[in-house]
Amino acid sequence: MKRIRAWTRLVTGLGCALLASQAQASGSWVATAPSVQVVMPDRPVQSADLAPPTAGLAIGQVVGRVSWQFTPPAGGEVDARLCHVGGCVVLAGPRGHTEALAGIPADSVLYFQFALQDSRQRAMTLQGLQVIVNHHPGPSLNQARPVERIRTL
């Protein structure tokens, strides 16, 4: 009887340790947004919100690296930013990654912001809007380093 209780305690303890380690494990989430039509250089358009697929997925975690992509029409170029409630990061092109958002809560809502580069450009539709947010355990937003606003040409 003592052996059974000892095994039960051991298995229960290991199960609790496994659950605790999973709660603090690094991970990632992917979000997509519908296509957007960009029509003017001086009036940016905002995508739909990009958020974790489940509410509790990234609680207590912070962003490490964010990858993004969107697809402009052939030959189309836009000014693009990836934003959160605290600011935006200028994107160098339709695909890439950044660590400029590192340290913000990983359950933060992100969104794209687009504008035409020139008033002579025709309106265009951007498709395939996607982010992949890599996250890991970390300090709260109050303890994280401030987000850098980066301009890439």
Does the structure show a pLDDT above 80 at 75?
A: yes
pLDDT of the residue at 3? 61
Does the structure show a pLDDT above 80 at 125?
A: yes
**Binning pLDDT at 50, 70 and 90, where does residue 58 land?**
confident
pTM: 0.75
SS3 72: coil
- 58 Cα distance to chain centroid: 11
Tokens at 89, concatenated: 């990061």
Domains of the chain: 26-137 (2.60.120.260)
Strand partners for 111: 83
- Best CA proximity match to 124, nearest among 10, 1, 40: 40
Report the alpha-carbon distance of residue 74 to residue 141 in Å, rounded. 40
Tokens at 95, concatenated: 């695909």
Residues of the chain with pLDDT > 70, as a percent, come to 75
